[in-house]
Amino acid sequence: MKRWINSIVLIAFATATIIGIALAQPEKITINNKYPNKVQTPVVLSHKVHAAAAACNECHHTLKKGEQPATVQKCAECHKAADSGEKGLKKAYHSNCQDCHKKLAAEGKKTGPTVKCSGCHPSKK
């Protein structure tokens, strides 16, 4: 009886965890930070497609391998929008996004936009 209850508790926990992750991970995300002098349009990406194609820590690089928390730190918490250098926010996104796309393109694999600005920043109407 005790063991039976234990497995129900375990199943409930596992389900809650799976639902928790599913809910925590948005279908689409819009990256729209504030910059001192913003010129480009916000960037929309399918988080679902990306989370299926790559490990979480390929992008959320401060996570440990295999870690899938329900909440993550914003890139902007550490990479500052006012910093236009190597460690700045724009560079962090461009390196992360474009380096992976370029690497996959070079391998002849299915990937996202590499250099074309409008691939990620849709032109203003």
Decide: is 33 part of the binding site for ligand HEC (CB under 6 A).
yes
- Map tokens 């913003």 to a residue: 38
Decide: is 112 part of the binding site for ligand HEC (CB under 6 A).
yes
Q: Which of 60, 80, 83, 88 binds ligand HEC (CB under 6 A)?
A: 60
Is residue 85 within 8 A of residue 91, CB to CB? The reply is yes
26, 98, 116 from 101: Cα distances, Å? 21, 5, 12
* Contacts of residue 58, Cβ cutoff 8 Å, sequence gap at least 6: 100
In sign, the C-alpha dihedral spanning 91, 62, 109, 123 is negative
Minimum gap (Å) between residue 109 Cβ and ligand HEC: 7
Decide: is 77 part of the binding site for ligand HEC (CB under 6 A).
yes
Interface with ligand HEC (CB under 6 A), residue total 60
User: Which residues of the shown chain bind ligand HEC in the complex (CB under 6 A)?
Assistant: 24-26, 29, 31-33, 35, 38-40, 42-43, 45-47, 49-51, 53-54, 56, 58-62, 68, 70-79, 89-90, 92-98, 100-101, 104, 110-113, 115-117, 119-121
